[in-house]
Amino acid sequence: MQVELLNESGNQQTYKVDARILTPPEQMPQLQNELHRALQKRQSSLQNGRFEINNVEAVRDAEGAVIAYQVTLHKK
């Protein structure tokens, strides 16, 4: 699993993005930029880049390490 669609409702979609495909970011704007590029590259329905990220939640393993991000976006 690198990018998995979890939920879709109208123009809003929620994805789970494997943290290993991203460079560890230091700030949220960098994370959002990397998530936008990862989703655009790996999801054919998002290749036009016309979406904005509304929410990002870290998914952690039992030790607390971030293993993925749950990303909610709005398609424009």
Q: Which of 41, 35, 28 is nearest to 14 (CA)?
A: 35
pLDDT digits (tens, 9 = 90+) for 15-67: 998 887 775 655 667 888 889 999 999 999 999 989 999 888 889 899 888 88
- Looking at residue 39, its pLDDT comes to 94
73 has pLDDT over 60: yes
The mean pLDDT value for 3-13 works out to 92
How many whole angstroms separate alpha carbon 41 and alpha carbon 22?
Answer: 12
11 has pLDDT over 60: yes
Q: Which of 76, 39, 73, 70 is nearest to 54 (CA)?
A: 73
pTM of the model: 0.66
Q: In what order do the strands lie in the sheet with 3-9?
A: 3-9, 12-18, 66-75, 51-60
